[in-house]
Amino acid sequence: MQKSGLLTTVQDLGRQGFRRFGINPNGAMDKQAVRLINILLGNVETEAVLEMHFPAPVLEFEEDALIALGGADFGAQINNSEIENWRQHFINKGSDLEFKKSIFGSRAYLAVKGGFKIENWLNSASTNLTANIGGFAGRALQKNDRLLFNQRTKDKGQITNYKISRSLIPNYQKSPAKVRVIGGAEFELLTAIHEQIFLMQNYWVSRESDRMGFRLTGEPLFLIENQELISSATDFGTIQLLPDGQLIILMADHQTSGGYPRIAHVVSADLPILAQLGANDKIGFEMIALDEAEDLTLAFEKDLNWLRIGVNFKYAFG
């Protein structure tokens, strides 16, 4: 790595099955992007990738590699030639991958065919920056760090002309973004007028936001009456009401439980939209029914399976 960038970490789809021990899941903020580019390369969906923020790193490839980029568009270039997101690219040994400008989004992802050689911790390669565990030595990547590949790319013959269909790419939206939510366990504890305010106003993403949670700024919301709540399970996309009336949306590094009112949950189909927001971006909410949220998830999984079948067929018989 010739230049580290603002924050570059190794992530996958997260560390599952250990929340009962208080271990947060971590993983990529935009998991749909990770799944898509891994499938495009013929990798398993859980293969580790690089999650990059802008200014992004400058990467020198010491071996030939087949790569794919997804998520945010940071104006990627190989040896000063522009390349697109959502398709395969062959990188020759000795080439540099740079990111020249932030065009859209806050987090870009890089996958390589075969994945990176990273030791798992609790079945995941994701970096836990708080505990300094997982990923690359439990920390963000720095200048002169070297990541090894799991396999060697022999020649350009492995590349296909496949490109992710627009119908599969998350419906990223510029600010103000509108994300769909389902009601949380404590939504009805809001006063009637503040239920409406929650759904009618736009909020700003605060600069105090990070991978643990996005703090929002807007007109304060209030409960019918203040009451003590038992600490309950939380998840990526849970929207909690803080004591000052402002909101926080829990993100990839969220705590496993919390005692603040859970007024809503962002539906999984719209988590990628949320993941690509940055400081000062605007966001609003639309309430939908649980069965509609489930239908959105099922439709995406069906389309993703067709992509998986097509790519696997090409690698097996192409």
Residue 155 has a pLDDT of 61
The pLDDT tens digits for 103-155 are: 999 999 999 999 999 999 999 999 999 999 999 999 999 999 999 999 887 76
Residues 81, 173: Cα–Cα separation, whole Å? 27
Taking the CB of residue 301, how many other CB atoms lie within 10 A of it?
10
* pLDDT-based confidence at residue 317 (cuts at 50, 70, 90): very low
The per-residue pLDDT for range 254-280, each reduced to its tens digit, is: 988 888 999 999 999 999 999 999 999
Q: Is the pLDDT of residue 314 over 70?
A: no
d(CA 123, CA 116): 15
Grade residue 225 by pLDDT with cuts at 50, 70 and 90: confident
| CA–CA separation, 79 and 60 (whole Å) | 10
Residue spans per domain, the chain: 8-170, 177-287
**Cα–Cα distance measured from residue 306 to residue 200, given in angstroms and rounded to the nearest whole number:** 37
Is residue 59 over pLDDT 50?
yes
CATH number of 177-287, picked from 3.20.20.140, 2.40.100.10, 3.30.160.270, 3.40.50.300:
2.40.100.10
Cβ neighbour number for residue 208 with a 10 Å cutoff? 11
Residue 316 confidence (pLDDT): 53
- Rounded to 5 degrees, φ, ψ at 198 are -55, -40
Beta strands in 48-152 (DSSP E): 49-52, 59-60, 65-73, 76-78, 81-82, 88-91, 96-99, 104-112
Q: Assign 288 to helix, strand or coil.
A: coil
Nearest-angstrom CA–CA distance, 249 and 283: 11
User: Could you tell me the pLDDT band of residue 163, with boundaries at 50, 70 and 90?
Assistant: confident
Average pLDDT, the chain: 93
157: which residues sit within 8 A by CB, 6+ positions away? none
The pLDDT assigned to 1 comes to: 87
> Per-residue pLDDT averaged across 51-65, rounded?
96
- At 156 the pLDDT is 64
